[in-house]
Amino acid sequence: MGFLRRLLEIALPPLPSQKPAPAPPTGPMLSSRLQENLLRIGKEFGSSPDILVRDFQIGAAGGVPAGIVHSDGLADKAIVQQVMMRALMLDVREFRSGEAPLAPGELPAFLRQTLLTVSEMREAHTLYEVCDAVLSGDTALFVDGYPQAFIVGTRGWKDRGIPEPQTETVIRGPRDGFTETLRSNTMLIRRRIKDTKLRLEMMKIGRVSKTDIGIMFIEGIAEERVIQEVRRRLRSIDIDAILESGYIEELIQDEALTPFPTMANTERPDVAAAGLLEGRVAIIVDGTPFVLLVPCLFNEFYMSAEDYYERADISTGIRYLRLVCFFIALIGPSAYIAITTFHQEMLPTELLIGLASSREGIPFPAFIEALIMEVIFEILREAGVRMPRMVGQAMSIVGALVLGQAAIQAGLVSPAMVIVVSLTAITNFVIPHYSMAISVRMLRFVFMALAAGFGLFGILFGVIFLIQHLCSLYSFGVPYMAPYAPMIPGDIKDSFLGRLSWKRMSTRPKFFSRNKARQKNGGGDPS
């Protein structure tokens, strides 16, 4: 019934767009007295040395008393000194030379329209608004006699530039990747989607960290129900800090009791842009280069960005290779355990004699033998990740060779088991997405235990239960196993079973998009 209900919800007409209303100002209101505001700011920050407070007079001596507050390292000092301080203390005399003093209430318009040459300026009326702005890199300007602060956009902290993605490398394709700066990430997406319907909504999550979170989608393509569900789940988060997008993923995912990821993450702007064009919603978290994409499907974790930059026949062949590697990585050791323990009659006589002779003198059953080698490989893999890059790569390769040979010579494992476990480890690296590769590694141990207890029947039971579990999962209302369960023939044109050419992929995925048409015709045919 739950499955039918979700299908009906998706099939129903979308509700009108409902953007979250801005929250009213909260917290203590600012005073019209300059010194009182500056003292309250200093007390709020505990006189921290990186919070710079300076009072001065607009128009130098005899001018209006004013003060600025900004964070050292987060605000661009060049903008603060050259654009703000110089304009307020010196340039204002040129603008107002020979003119009557400003009447009460005229200063805000004069600052915004004439004096300060900045693109972003707004007013804040509460102490909390000012503190949030200062901690975000903006500068707060206080003027004596005005019960509000003028927030000037001066963000200018240092970042590491636009790097090349580390976890999603390709031979052919863009080389730029997301960074830890939210605005840089939104810029990288807008470079690829130059459309006025690309929407960005901002919110802050975390009582202490107040992390900036961005929601990006293309209006008219993304399903309105998915957008509203993303907003609802994000607004329901009540936590002290969000330091990485993994926090968000775990807090808003559909199903917690599953080893499979139900939200995709990427550090490639082209992958995020492609997801938005299909009707997905991107969740961008300030402070991490990993962007979340929802909804996501199971078969997407076996696709690479490079699949869409090569010819369709090549991409299809590579996807079939990944599918074979998935099954080897999942049930390779368990199949070996089951056959050598319970079903020796399935092996040719020569192979059976060879395996029996290689296991002569091995004190452990096949399950313990495989468990030892798998644990050793997992230790080497984890150590290689945590150590410096060059040292870690060398240690992983050399360590695997040395320990494997030493285990054979010591009579702990057979050569055939080393080959099986090594092949399993290599095929696991073929899976493009790290989060899915980890899930396969975890499930491998479950299938090994089933094979040790029940042979091939245990593996078959595990596969049936796994398929049932996958079919029960949803990602923001979308069936996780679509387009296979439920069967959507039109969407199989782009799945881990293959990809058609761009000329024949004229529609977007059915469950993601309100606007199904991707292109009106194939185009590009030679005349």
Please tell me what DSSP assigns to residue 25: P
**Interatomic CA distance for residues 506 and 519, integer angstroms:** 5
Q: What is the dihedral of CA 33, 39, 43, 45, to 10 degrees?
A: 90
| Residue with the larger pLDDT of the pair 496 and 266 | 266
Q: What are phi and psi of 498, to 5 degrees?
A: 140, 175
The pLDDT value recorded for residue 466 is 96
In this prediction, residue 275 has a pLDDT band, given cuts at 50, 70 and 90, of very high
The whole-chain average pLDDT of the chain stands at 85
In this prediction, residue 102 has a pLDDT band, given cuts at 50, 70 and 90, of low
pLDDT of 270 over the 70 cut: yes
**Interatomic CA distance for residues 403 and 115, integer angstroms:** 71
Q: What are phi and psi of 283, to 5 degrees?
A: -115, 115
Amino acid at 253: Q
In this prediction, residue 193 has a pLDDT band, given cuts at 50, 70 and 90, of very high
CB 318 within 8 A of CB 433: no
Least confident of 97-106, 387-396, 441-450: 97-106
Terminal Cα distance for the chain, rounded: 53
The pLDDT value recorded for residue 361 is 80
Predicted TM-score of the model (pTM): 0.86
**Interatomic CA distance for residues 153 and 141, integer angstroms:** 11
The pLDDT value recorded for residue 15 is 41
**Interatomic CA distance for residues 370 and 222, integer angstroms:** 47
The pLDDT value recorded for residue 9 is 45
Three-class DSSP labels, 293-326: EECCCHHHHHCCHHHHCCCHHHHHHHHHHHHHHH
The pLDDT value recorded for residue 140 is 94
| Residue with the larger pLDDT of the pair 81 and 202 | 202
**Neighbouring C-beta atoms of residue 115, cutoff 10 Å:** 18
Structure tokens at 11: 């099939």
The whole-number average pLDDT for the span 488-515 is 78
Q: What is the pLDDT of residues 44-69, one digit of tens each?
A: 998 889 999 998 888 765 678 889 99
Closest CA to 508 of 166, 190, 279: 279
**Exposed e or buried b per residue across 209-238, where buried means at least 16 C-beta atoms within 10 angstroms of its C-beta:** bbbbbbbbbbeebbbbbbbbbbbebbeeee
Closest CA to 206 of 243, 252, 250, 179: 243
Cα angle 43, 44, 46; round to 5: 60
Residues counted in the chain:
527
| Residue with the larger pLDDT of the pair 21 and 452 | 452
Q: What are 517's strand-pairing partners?
A: 507
The pLDDT value recorded for residue 357 is 84
* DSSP codes joined into one string, 35-86: HHHHHHHHHHTTT-TTEEEEEEEETSTTSEEEEEEEEBTTB-HHIIIIIIIH
The pLDDT value recorded for residue 60 is 61
Q: What is the pLDDT of residues 252-264, one digit of tens each?
A: 999 888 999 999 9
pLDDT of 469 over the 80 cut: yes
**Interatomic CA distance for residues 158 and 177, integer angstroms:** 17
